[in-house]
Amino acid sequence: MPEFDQYSQSYSQDIDKVIGVFGQTHDFFIRSKADIILSALAALNRDVSKLKLLDVGCGVGLVHPYIVNALGELRGAEVSGASLDIARKNNPAVQYDVYDGTKLPYADATFDGAVAVAVMHHVPPAQWLDFLCEMRRVVRPGGLVLVIEHNPLNPATQWVVRHAPMDENAKLLTPWRLRRLMKAAGVRQTWIRYVLFTPFAGKIFRLLDRLLERVPLGTQYAAGGKA
């Protein structure tokens, strides 16, 4: 049984129990990831409403309600069948596909972008490069490859990972290692942006995030580039 089948029904509640000590719910962080994804797509200088995006390791599709209406098409690929059952029920406008965790079930250059949100730390390190190669393979030349990950340089992140039951076997990636792996996978013009320095939603705090995005202390980071 895939690791996340056992957490599919209570994923958000389990996360809320852990991160509640920092004064925010899981939904706050999901919305922040949606903003990162749409912002990165907009930076392609193309009409986002016409783009086709793949979410690799999409889980129960928590981020999808916040991005699906902005896109031309959204698809999700996931190894956990139980998670996909929930995703399909909650997001009828999104098409979901089961995959085996190694080979994505799509032809080369199918999508304008592929994103993996807090997924790679659940992938065995020996498979990290292959995972990224698959993401790049299914993205059209010049399209977006985007990975959002926990930042192991942040003490709060380390605490959350230690206390989250679904992260029991997690292996966090440093930003510079992920960037090297992306380049090795053929991703071009790579960049790193650090995010979520505070758990506050006010405009001044979101502005602070943008001002500090090069400082490697955000609780999470986004690594992107072009296929």
The total of structural domains in the chain comes to: 1
Partners of residue 114 on adjacent β-strands: 54, 145
Confidence of residue 16 (pLDDT cuts 50, 70, 90): very low
Q: What are phi and psi of 132, to 5 degrees?
A: -70, -35
Per-residue pLDDT tens digits for 180-208: 999 999 999 999 999 887 766 667 767 77
Which pLDDT belongs to residue 165? Answer: 63
Which pLDDT belongs to residue 212? Answer: 81
Mind spelling out the 3-state secondary structure of the chain? CCHHHHHCCCHHHHHHHHHHHHCCCHHHHHHHHHHHHHHHHHCCCCCHHHCEEEEECCCCCCCHHHCHHHCCEEEEEECCHHHHHHHHHHCCCCEEEECCCCCCCCCCCCEEEEEEECCHHHCCHHHHHHHHHHHHHCEEEEEEEEEEEECCCCHHHHHHHHHCHHHCCCCCCCHHHHHHHHHHCCCEEEEEEEECCCCCCCHHHHHHHHHCCCCCCCCEEEEEEEC
Which pLDDT belongs to residue 159? Answer: 74
Per-residue pLDDT tens digits for 53-104: 999 999 999 999 999 999 999 999 999 999 999 999 999 999 999 999 999 9
Nearest by Cα to 174 from 126, 130, 223: 223
Which pLDDT belongs to residue 196? Answer: 81
Long-range contacts of 122-127 (CB under 8 A, 24+ apart): 122/3, 122/4, 122/57, 122/167, 122/169, 122/170, 124/171, 125/171, 127/101, 127/102
Cβ atoms within 10 Å, residue 100: 10
The predicted model gives 18-28 an average pLDDT of: 55
Residue 210 vs residue 77, higher pLDDT: 77
Q: Is 108 left (phi over 0), alpha (psi -120 to 50) or beta?
A: beta
Q: What are phi and psi of 197, to 5 degrees?
A: -75, -25
Virtual torsion, Cα 62, 21, 9, 223, nearest 10 deg: 40
Pair of tokens at residue 141 = 């030349």
Domain of 115, in residue numbers: 3-226
Reported pTM: 0.87
CATH number at residue 43: 3.40.50.150
The predicted model gives 113-137 an average pLDDT of: 97
Which pLDDT belongs to residue 19? Answer: 44
Q: Which stretch of 90-94, 151-155, 162-166, 180-184 has the lowest confidence by average pLDDT? A: 162-166
Query: What count of residues does the chain have?
Result: 227
Which pLDDT belongs to residue 26? Answer: 67
Q: What are phi and psi of 6, to 5 degrees?
A: -75, -15
Which pLDDT belongs to residue 18? Answer: 40
